[in-house]
Amino acid sequence: MLNLFDDYPIHQTPEPLAYPGTTDPNFYDRSWFNGYNQDASCYFSFGMAVYPHRGIIDGAFSVVEAGGRQHCFYGSGRAPQERTNTTVGPLRLEIIEPLRRARIILEENDSGLACDLTFSARTSAIEEARQTLWTGTRRFMDATRFDQFGRWSGTVSHPDGEFKVDEDSWLGTKDRSWGVRRVGERVPVGAPNSTQSFFFLWAPLVWEDHITHAIFFDGPEGEALVREGLVSPFYASEADIPDELDLTATRMATAVHRVDYHPETRLAARAALDLIDLHGQVRTIDLEPQLRFQMKGLGYGHREWGQGVWKGELALGGESFDLADLDLLAPDNLHVQQVVVASDGQHQGIGVLEQLVFGPYGPAGFRDLLDGAQ
């Protein structure tokens, strides 16, 4: 089973590239992007993934404007053999120049959403540390991720209107990840495990001439499972990005987070990050949320359009919902991104704070699966 990339000297196993190095059915390979304007009044996001052992490709596009509804397009189908074919119905991803420029197109469809957007990188590709989490003796997550920050141009239309996107005022993050994580229908693996806690915080931020990034996975008492902080230059143009990959990022010794929650929810009302460098110097960043985006708009935890779920040869769908009407303690509403204004006391930045908190979590006072802050 060959595809076009098999013509390049890039193989990691004796098999063609269509065969992952693991037979775990939860292997995935995902592209993800977000975009937001600098006044924090509008946000969009895109995701597309292939699940080789499940034979599925799916994708989604979603947008929200301040004071309006969140609109979502979903698509799912049989994965093509050819890995360069990144299309699901009317939605497609084009890699114009690897690690520099990409294009997202959603043609007109019954959801009322459409877009033609081009991402232009402004940082090197930054590899996060490998993320491995365990359930007993079994890895339930083992993934590699890299990020790029950049600017956007293009157009978006949705059921309530349309807007233009220009590089002067629109920023965003590209996230490529692959490996093993929980996707699709659950695969029986013997004796059932007790329900586990899950805490995830992800904070890519853009400042005037650099970016900061912080990643956290915590255990139920706040113990650090994955903890990472990064700083990297933010360049004026694609042409300024060095050809050397991932050599521009400065890695912190560690990072620390503090989150205050809205009462009776698990939604961050504000947060602070400490980036601690190799010499022990601390940079404290305060985050003030401005606009909320529900990650179920890209299939994360969605009851009907969950990622990696077989829905037939090709299935398309869409929905719109008012964020004010949602039960924020319902499992499918826990996973969010919020556009945030960032300040370190001297400079101001903007970015997103992504969070997912499920089950008991001691530092927040959460004792049950879905209780809210007191």
Cα 307 to Cα 302: distance, rounded to the nearest angstrom: 8
Listed residue (11, 22, 16, 14) closest to 1, CA to CA: 16
Q: Classify residue 9: in a domain, yes or no.
A: no
pLDDT at position 184, please? 84
Q: Classify residue 107: in a domain, yes or no.
A: yes
Listed residue (182, 181, 206) closest to 126, CA to CA: 206
pLDDT at position 244, please? 74
* pLDDT per residue of the chain (374 residues) written in tens, 0 to 9: 899 989 889 899 898 988 898 989 999 999 999 999 999 999 999 999 999 999 999 999 999 999 999 999 999 999 999 999 999 999 999 999 999 999 999 999 999 999 999 999 999 999 988 888 888 887 878 899 999 999 999 999 999 999 999 999 999 999 999 999 888 888 777 777 777 899 999 999 999 999 999 999 999 999 999 999 999 999 999 999 998 766 779 999 999 999 999 999 999 999 999 999 999 999 999 999 999 999 999 999 999 999 999 999 999 999 999 999 999 999 999 999 999 999 999 999 999 999 999 999 999 999 999 999 99
Q: Classify residue 6: in a domain, yes or no.
A: no
pLDDT at position 133, please? 86
Measured at the CA of 103, the angle between CA 101 and CA 104, to 5 degrees, comes to 145
| Beta-bridge partner residues of 149 | 173
Structural domain of 175: 25-180+195-364
Let me know: does 228 contact 128? Beta carbons within 8 Å. Answer: yes
pLDDT digits (tens, 9 = 90+) for 294-332: 999 999 999 999 999 999 999 999 999 999 999 999 999
Q: Classify residue 205: in a domain, yes or no.
A: yes
pLDDT at position 185, please? 84
Cα–Cα distances in angstroms (integers) from residue 260 to residues 1, 94, 273, 357, 368, in the given order: 51, 39, 12, 13, 18
Q: Classify residue 371: in a domain, yes or no.
A: no
Q: Classify residue 342: in a domain, yes or no.
A: yes
Quote the pTM value. Answer: 0.96
pLDDT at position 245, please? 67
Task: Report residue 139 as tokens.
Answer: 């890895």
| Structure-token match 């491995």, residue found | 132
Which CATH number is 124's domain given? 2.40.370.10
Q: Classify residue 90: in a domain, yes or no.
A: yes
pLDDT at position 322, please? 98
Residue 96 backbone zone (phi > 0: left; psi -120 to 50: alpha; other: beta):
alpha
pLDDT at position 246, please? 61
Q: Classify residue 85: in a domain, yes or no.
A: yes
| Beta-bridge partner residues of 35 | 44, 172
3-state SS string over the chain?
CCCHHHHCCCCCCCCCCCCCCCCCCCEEEEEEEEEEECCCCEEEEEEEEEECCCCEEEEEEEEEECCCCEEEEEEEEECCCCCCCCEECCEEEEEEECCCEEEEEECCCCCCCEEEEEEEECCCCEECCCEEEEECCEEEEEEEEEEEEEEEEEEEEECCEEEEECCCCEEEEEEEEEEECCCCCCCCCCCCCCCCCEEEEEEEEECCCEEEEEEEEECCCCCEEEEEEEEEECCCCHHHCCCCCCCCCEECCEEEEEEEECECCCCEEEEEEEEECCCCCEEEEEEEEEEEEEHHHHCCCCCCCCCCCCCCCEEEEEEEECHHHCCCCCHHHCCEEEEEEEECCCCEEEEEEEEEEECCEHHHCECCCCCCEC
Overall number of domains in the chain: 1
